[in-house]
């Protein structure tokens, strides 16, 4: 399982809160920052926040290929086409494949071969092609079938007090703890996701921790304004909380600093 996990595309959109990382790193004034490539969001968001040189490294070549594709799209496409090509906005699959054809000359041979052999990912939009995104999409589809807890309702509140009252009436802490524990269990997780971190030994059960943090987050802020809640509960990013590299202003900043990005596998 571990070997397979480090050969497939696992993360494709955004996995960490860029604001927290920028606050912790304080990148202003630094000459060089080393980070994990992952979905490519971390190095690209760091470029949006700082003029430092960013070195992105990953054990998994698939993640490197994804970052290279995003960089090529940023360089060559307008923001609207870039967003549509990635899958942030709707687009025809054939149109996306045509855009890939335009980008291929800008990619190294190994990255070119990687994407030429994965037309389905390109057709659907690579932004949600990772195993992590696909895992949460399946979970979101499952939750939507459960009538006793309206997922769509949680994501529609624009008043935090009303959202809290809804949670007080409808939130079943025992159910969510059970569901999170099941999804993170050594039996279930390898089938749907496969991240070794979910099945390695831990003194604190991952499912319990995730369910408690999820409840706390829903009491502190609106679900509709959280990229993570939107991914968890709907399977897509919310337009109210996009990472910098997926916004017009952020993408422009990243594009102007791409010469400061070094990608290593």
The pLDDT value given to residue 187: 67
List the chain domain ranges: 2-130+243-264, 131-234
CA distance 2 to 6: 7
The pLDDT value given to residue 190: 63
CA distance 126 to 139: 19
Angle at 17 between CA 15 and CA 19, to 5 degrees: 150
3-state secondary structure the chain: CHHHHCCCCCCCCCCCCHHHHHHHHCCCCCCEEEEECCCCHHHHHHHHHCCCEEEEECCCHHHHHHHHHHHHHHHHCCHHHHHHHHCCCCCCHHHHHHHHHHHHHHCCHHHHHHHHCCHHHHHHCHHHCCHHHHHHHHHHHHHHCCCCCCHHHHCCCCCHHHHHHHHHHHCCHHHHHHHHHHHCCCCCHHHHCCCHHHCCCCCCCHHHHHHHHHHHHHHHCCHHHCHHHHHHHHCCCCCCCCCHHHCHHHHHHHHCCHHHEEEEC
**C-alpha to C-alpha distances, 204 to 105, 236, 245, 260, nearest whole angstrom:** 48, 29, 34, 39
* Phi, psi angle pair for 32, to nearest 5°: -150, 140
Which residues in the chain come in under a pLDDT of 50? 1
For the entire predicted model, the pTM comes to: 0.89
Q: Is 246 exposed, middle or buried (0-12, 13-18, 19+ CB in 10 A)?
A: buried
pLDDT digits (tens, 9 = 90+) for 163-194: 999 888 877 777 777 777 777 776 666 666 66
CA distance 210 to 238: 20
């Amino acid at each position: 399982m571990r070997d397979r996990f480090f050969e497939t595309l696992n993360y494709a959109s955004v996995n960490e809160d860029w604001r927290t990382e920028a606050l912790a790193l304080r990148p202003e004034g630094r000459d060089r920052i080393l980070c994990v490539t992952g979905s490519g969001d971390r190095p690209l968001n760091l470029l949006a926040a700082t003029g430092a040189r960013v070195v992105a490294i990953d054990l998994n070549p698939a993640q490197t290929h994804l970052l290279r594709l995003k960089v090529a799209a940023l360089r060559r496409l307008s923001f609207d086409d870039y967003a549509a090509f990635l899958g942030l906005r709707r687009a025809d699959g054939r149109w996306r494949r045509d855009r890939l054809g335009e980008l291929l000359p800008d990619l190294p041979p190994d990255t070119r071969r990687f994407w030429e052999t994965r037309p389905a990912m390109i057709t659907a939009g690579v932004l949600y092609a990772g195993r992590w995104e696909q895992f949460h999409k399946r979970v979101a589809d499952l939750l939507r079938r459960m009538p006793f807890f309206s997922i769509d309702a949680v994501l529609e509140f624009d008043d935090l007090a009303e959202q809290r009252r809804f949670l007080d009436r409808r939130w079943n802490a025992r159910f969510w703890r059970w569901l999170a524990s099941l999804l993170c269990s050594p039996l279930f997780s390898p089938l749907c996701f496969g991240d070794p971190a979910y099945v390695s030994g831990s003194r604190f059960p991952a499912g319990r921790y995730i369910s408690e943090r999820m409840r706390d987050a829903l009491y502190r802020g609106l679900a509709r304004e959280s990229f993570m809640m939107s991914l968890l509960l709907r399977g897509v990013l919310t337009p109210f909380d996009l990472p910098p590299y997926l916004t017009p202003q952020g993408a422009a900043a990243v594009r102007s600093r791409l010469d400061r990005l070094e990608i290593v596998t």
